[in-house]
Chain A
């Protein structure tokens, strides 16, 4: 007891007080007090005073707790001088002459949003977001000011405008935004049971809005369902992206002092953060972080889940969460749904107007790859632009091949290296230690002459290293050019992209997929310009790159490359290309791929040797054709097999494959014309010159009428450019054989 003079009496008084306080009946209480205090009037007075003070003390502490509740920790700690105004709505004190607060419409981790009426400069309803956390208001405002001009440049129907920002009377930052009356996009889709295609349409609009912002230099940094609201305008759903520029203003640089703000942010929306955003040390966020978040959004729209169960991960600790985000591959959307319990599958599929097996089969393949490409850990492998993502979704919706594709073997190996960088580095270190050790023993024990020789070797090594560095720098330069070209292509500036890449002789090793497709686009651009030789260079480079992949696009590149080389008159190049193609695909079990490769190898009459080389491909295609149902099969597959038969000298078979299709109504002209020409050449060989001539003239007219405009515009519905080029190659060949003019009036050459 620290104070012996007051101690015992205090304790005694307290004990009696507590005893008395537990007796609600006044008479009983009095009797108790008298007996307990007995002959100590001072003690009695003291306890009575305590009892009398009890009610007042209670009130005092309740008020104290209230007072505690009114202390605004954040701001005072952040050092903002402010008058203590105990009004309930002090936080809304933002110059009430300009805004009238109507109602609170939302509350998030970092702020409260109100619907408000603005009086000046125009009378309108706005959304007013008051930042809640204790933050350094000055730097928030400075960061917002820095981006204000860029924000003002944004003008897009799917972006909610941010009108202005300011500081409340109590020193908190606030933002005035266009008022969007909508619900979050995921809720909208679920409540209205939108199917997958309808969801994708909405998603594309979101991508285009983000693209618009990126082109104005604004990164959102906080894309998530609650920042994308869907409103109805004339009955049409319109997604609106809100909060542009705000995440940046309130995030700022992560330092120790603001770490806690960052934690708050983590705990708010970690599911949508890109791996690079989760790293505290390097805050190097660019537009591709938004692409990642778009990928998460797409994931959730498709599967109802986010790629990682963030809550679970956070329980294992923040470092563990970061590590997972950096290293763990998310489940593919189809696999995610497959792994769910049956009842949940049914619920998720039902919200998409499908049953579970249907939904899984819709997701499998293209949609899986599109999502996974957007979610790549390495941002170089993500879609380079939001438009790129939107376009790939568009390709899926149009049933065209998408750019995203499953990882090839080479890519998987590189990933392995990347994941195990530590191990690979360790192997390098051991090697280095050995080298150094050797160096030392050499210097110690070997004679001076030998040492000298070693010096020369070392110098040579240094020179090699330097050369390598130069090569690396050149490659980095090429890479930068490629991504710029990819952006130009995405913006529709093919000619500028072509100019940029004009003097490039090859692709950098391991280019991003967007870079490859940009390269492809530029190649096509030159082809459309009739610059066949230049186009040929691009396509031959593409073939080199494609060796690392095994996907549909590869065979499409081969198709383009073949016709471009022949059209450019580079017959030696074509021969070489043909050997590469045969070597790569001779043993493919895939009939579709085999037929495309076969076709691209047959645009010139072939020697007996080449015929032998092509035989395995031809056999694969023939067997595959036998399994096709003539009613439902794709008519394009007839060209390779009939052309193959023609080259083999089997005119009857070539004729039979094509003849039935010539009267069909549903064959596109670019497919029909080559068939007519094959029939014409086959008939000519068989002596049926009249029929040969009829088919030749029909084909010639079609080609000359269609070729020029198709080549210029590349209208996909009427045939892709290389199909027309292929048709014209056959036309020229047939013209020679039949002794008729090909009438090349339509050529752009």
Chain B
């Protein structure tokens, strides 16, 4: 699939042309799957997450959110990464809630022992810190969303954001440390 094909379809879909959305799905399906699979691989050997289900849910999020004004490929994948984040966090919250007897709607970061955090709590901690980073430095936060939830490589992130690979390396390294210190500080409070 060429980038311009996708861009054309995205624009058609945003205009609400009925066939565009169904045409779009098979086109972006592979790309979405690759994103999901990449992200899984970075999750190392334990691959119990189903990329297919993730892709489907992400696609639902994308099409459900009324503002389908995707300018281009980069914009679309940005939206896709956001959607994946939303799906994963929703699931993690649900699981975390189930474990705690369903009373809380939000995780209290103070309750969590970082070292022994359950997987879903671990993800929730990162998400909370990411939200804070978004207020602090939206550009760095964008890189984290694309990398951590979108599963893109640094090159891809650079391409999509129109910056250099080196800039992305630096943003990612800095963001990780910033977020980790943020989480640690919250936990120690």
Contact = CB atoms under 8 A, between A and B. Distances in A.
B69 interface: no
A71 B88 contact: yes
Contact of A50 (B125, B148, B177): B177
Interface in B31-81: 39-40, 42-44, 46-50, 52-54, 56-57, 59-60
A10 B136 contact: yes
Given A263-B25, A318-B23, A319-B19, A73 B180 contact: no
Nearest to A133: B53
A6 B22 CA distance: 47
A72 B170 contact: no
Contacts of B40: 69
Contacts of A105: none
Contact of B49 (A68, A86, A263, A264): A68
Nearest to A50: B177
B98 A73 contact: no
Contact of A56 (B44, B135, B173, B180): B180
Given A71-B95, A73-B87, A53 B47 contact: no
Nearest to B179: A57
Contacts of B22: 317-319
A28 interface: no
B92 interface: yes
Interface in B79-137: 87-88, 90-92, 94-95, 98-99, 114, 117-120, 122-123, 125-126, 135-137
Interface string A69-109: 11111101100011110101011000000000000000001
Contacts of B122: 63-64, 67
Nearest to A6: B136
B49 A267 contact: no
A66 B54 contact: no
A193 interface: no
Nearest to A76: B91
A133 B44 CA distance: 21
B50 A74 contact: yes
Contacts of B60: 260
Nearest to B58: A73
Interface in A24-67: 49-50, 53-54, 56-58, 60-67
A58 B176 contact: yes
A60 B47 contact: no
Nearest to B178: A14
Contacts of B94: 76
B135 A2 contact: yes
Q: Which interface class (under 10, 10 to 19, 20 to 34, 35 or more) fits B?
A: 35 or more
Contacts of B149: 68
B29 A263 contact: yes
Contacts of B44: 62, 65-66, 69
A72 B50 contact: yes
A260 B43 contact: no
A76 B43 CA distance: 19
Contact of A84 (B52, B90, B95, B180): B95
Given A71-B123, A73-B57, A76-B94, A21 B173 contact: yes
A71 B179 contact: no
A315 interface: yes
B26 interface: yes
Interface string A680-710: 0000000000000000000000000000000
A63 B40 CA distance: 12
Contacts of A54: 173, 176-177
Contacts of B178: 10, 14, 50
A386 B69 CA distance: 50
A427 B117 CA distance: 71
A144 interface: no
A397 to B, nearest CB: 40
A18 B149 CA distance: 23
B26 A317 contact: yes
A314 B25 CA distance: 10
A248 interface: no
A65 B123 CA distance: 8
Interface of B: 1, 19, 22-23, 25-27, 29, 39-40, 42-44, 46-50, 52-54, 56-57, 59-60, 87-88, 90-92, 94-95, 98-99, 114, 117-120, 122-123, 125-126, 135-137, 148-149, 170, 173-174, 176-181, 183-184
Chain A to chain B: the 5 pairs with minimum beta-carbon distance, closest first: A69-B43, A57-B180, A67-B119, A74-B53, A317-B23
9 contacts: A10-B136, A10-B137, A67-B122, A68-B119, A70-B49, A71-B120, A73-B91, A267-B26, A317-B26
